[in-house]
Amino acid sequence: MRNSTFWSICLLAGLVWSCAPASTEEKGADTATEQDSAEMAEENSGFKYLTEQFADLKIIRYQVPGFDQLSLDQKKLVYYLSQAALSGRDIIYDQNYRHNLTIRKALENVVNNYQGDKTTPDWESFMVYTKRVWFSNGIHHHYSTAKLKPDFSQAYFEGLLTETKTELDAEALKAIFDSEVDAKRVNKNPEIDLIAGSANNFYESGVTAEEVDNYYQGIIDKNDPNPISYGLNTTVMRDGDGLKEVVWKVDGKYGPAIDKIVFWLEKAVTVAENDQQKAALELLIKYYQTGDLKVWDEYNIAWVAATEGDIDYINGFIEVYGDAKGFKASYESVVQIKDFEASARMEKMDQTVQWFEDNSPIMDEHKKAEVKGVTYKVVTVAMESGDASPSTPIGINLPNANWIRTDYGSKSVSLGNIVNAYSNSSGSGYTDEFAYSEEEKARSKEHGELGSKLHTALHEVVGHASGKLNEGVGTPKETLKNYASTLEEGRADLVALYYIMDQKMIDLGLMPSLEVGKAEYDGYIRNGLMVQLRRLEPGELIEEDHMRNRQLVAGWAYEKGKADNVIERIDENGKTYFRINDYEKLRDLFGQLLREIQRIKSEGDYEAGKALVENYGVQVDQELHAQVLERAEKLGIAPYGGFINPSYEVVEENGEIVDIKVMYPEDFTEQMLGYGRAYSFL
């Protein structure tokens, strides 16, 4: 699971495509603009972080410190894993929508070949749309999943197609300009068929949610204590009167791209740092070759055990946020190098995870007697692809299978250089605008960044490792269905919120005082009740899991604490603020909600889970939303950020690799066009 760039850094914004605390953009008290802040960071470091801003997006670069100190074999390993990562790039486009690859290639052909006037507003609008498609890996917004709206006419676009001799079929053309066609990539509204109402390409057109439920109910073994991740790597198709699954593997769907992934993984095996790492890579290759989900489990067990070495990676069909039913996983890859200094500072977190579990406010019968194999590291990202790029998580906790986490453990990572790049590219005017008191602003300035980092660590290391299912209860995607992801993210956030106000964090030397926890509480409530609404269009409900989770947690605590005025709503001079009056009582409320959500998950209580999400996480106060949009617009801060990846230059002598150098491209368009030329395998 991941901590998303919105919450932790947009929400210090998006680990877990798994989880999140509040954005660095929202944490500081400084009123500097984004450009001012970025220029200051560039002046101080000599490195240009923020490269451009358009629509609701900003494009950032990140550095890979320490790469030059790696051995040659380690550099090769990073390079091979990076090539494997990029080789699967086409897959995420096709998974997101059936017309995405056709449309992307048409847009790229126009950009590469158009010789007309490139100074007109129409061309500028066309380029903004094209860059938004690259950013979102398709024509639906990467976060809201609503379809992107072009600000140029169909007639103008058809003229571009004609002038560049670009072919685009009528159905794909209609998909771009007809707002009613496939309007949402992921539909979470239970009043609409979750499959038929979602535009993603995990299910053949016409397949319904009821059919999918019946199909998987017929094949899932509910008595298996170690179930495979049913449906994780397949497309569901019609087969006469029934359904069948088409597997994503070397000789199956996505075969040409997966074959390239395997090619580079096989090279990675030759320079693996140790036998455990090598064994895990070989199992990943076997999984891609066979599509066998039992092999996927074997791989995850081996990958969790491979904790030695400086290089690690995530590669595969990982997170299920893109499927409203929670079965199908999107392709993603992150290549990472251990940050030794930062990781050493955080070792106490995973060494104390059993204490956190034992002292949790959840019911004793829902606690793990032994939390196994949890590791936490701060890493330096070397490459990202698929669902992790350009918009990236800031922290990740894997694997996702509950039984593997319980029996074998998990790995949690914080993407240190990504967090650093966000910080160096972001202004911090949200706090100044939405925080009520000077005390709150000062606390955020002094303690907000540390609070956000500790929230991410607690969320990933402790939160996702905590709790257990009752014996005989199915997996959350079976029992909690379309609410499973929201509730899991809420559960992990609540663990983080509960413990960030605990004296134990001070005793461990992780923070200097409870003022850090108060800063995190301030930011979480401010964001969950107000600031995150800037990401919605007027009239929209909340559908994205992380946004639902944050509003659920903040909204529930606000309502339940009204009698004691725990959180006070203040309306002053036409502006709304939320002020915390009692941090200890708020912590107790977070503990109560954590206990209930863990019960819901442990018992598979669908109706109670649905009630929590629908009552607190979905609806939007439209009057407050309009106010937030007006106040946020004046700040001029793009609510979403994504990254240009580094590139790696191979140095050869006599046909042998003698060195690999890291380079830092500055042009998002050039990188996307280059990827289109080099990694278009589907």
Per-residue pLDDT reduced to its tens digit, 298-317: 999 999 999 999 999 999 99
Q: Collect all residues with Cβ–Cβ distance below 8 Å to 179 and sequence separation of at least 6.
A: 147, 149
Q: pLDDT band at 43, cuts 50/70/90?
A: low
Q: Which has more pLDDT, 191 or 553?
A: 553
Average pLDDT in the 480-497 region?
Answer: 95
Q: Is the pLDDT of residue 181 over 90?
A: yes
Average pLDDT in the 571-578 region?
Answer: 96
Average pLDDT in the 505-533 region?
Answer: 96
d(CA 441, CA 448): 9
**Is 594 inside a domain boundary?**
yes
Query: Which token pair is 389?
Result: 């790029």
Q: pLDDT band at 3, cuts 50/70/90?
A: low
Percent of the chain with pLDDT over 70: 93
CB-count burial class (<10 Å; 0-12, 13-18, 19+) for 600? buried
pLDDT tens-digit readout, 410-432:
998 889 899 889 888 865 688 99
**φ and ψ at residue 230, rounded to 5 degrees:** -50, 130
Are the C-beta atoms of 390 and 134 separated by less than 8 Å? yes
Q: pLDDT band at 332, cuts 50/70/90?
A: very high
> What pLDDT was estimated at residue 259?
98
Q: Which has more pLDDT, 6 or 454?
A: 454
**Is 88 inside a domain boundary?**
no
Q: Which has more pLDDT, 647 or 452?
A: 647
Task: Give the residue ranges of DSSP H helices in 458-483.
Answer: 476-479
> What pLDDT was estimated at residue 158?
98
Q: Please, what's the b/e burial string for 502-531 (b: 16 or more CB within 10 A of its CB; e: otherwise)? A: beebeeeebbeebbbbbbbbbbbbbbbbbb
Q: Is the pLDDT of residue 5 over 60?
A: no
Are the C-beta atoms of 347 and 307 separated by less than 8 Å? no
pLDDT tens-digit readout, 341-378:
776 666 777 789 899 999 999 999 999 999 887 778 88
Average pLDDT in the 446-450 region?
Answer: 91
Q: Which has more pLDDT, 42 or 212?
A: 212
**Is 90 inside a domain boundary?**
no
Number of domains, the chain: 1
**Is 545 inside a domain boundary?**
yes
**Is 282 inside a domain boundary?**
no
**Is 45 inside a domain boundary?**
yes
pLDDT tens-digit readout, 647-659:
999 999 999 999 9
- In eight-state DSSP terms, residue 470 is P
CB-count burial class (<10 Å; 0-12, 13-18, 19+) for 348? middle
Q: Could you tell me the maximum CA-CA distance found in the chain, to the nearest angstrom?
A: 77
Average pLDDT in the 618-627 region?
Answer: 96
Are the C-beta atoms of 471 and 603 separated by less than 8 Å? no
d(CA 412, CA 1): 9
Strand partners, 380: 337
d(CA 73, CA 272): 8
Percent of the chain with pLDDT over 90: 81
**φ and ψ at residue 237, rounded to 5 degrees:** -125, 160
Q: Is the pLDDT of residue 46 over 90?
A: no
**Is 561 inside a domain boundary?**
yes
Q: Is the pLDDT of residue 14 over 50?
A: no
Average pLDDT in the 75-80 region?
Answer: 98
Quote the pTM value.
0.82
Give me the amino acid identity at 475: T
pLDDT tens-digit readout, 380-392:
999 999 999 999 9
HEC sequence for 505-535? HHHCCCCCCCHHHHHHHHHHHHHHHCHHHHH
3-state SS class at 454: helix
Average pLDDT in the 119-147 region?
Answer: 97
Average pLDDT in the 207-217 region?
Answer: 95
Range of the domain at 604: 2-66+334-641
> What pLDDT was estimated at residue 38?
55
Q: Is the pLDDT of residue 142 over 60?
A: yes
d(CA 493, CA 470): 21
Q: Is the pLDDT of residue 28 over 70?
A: no
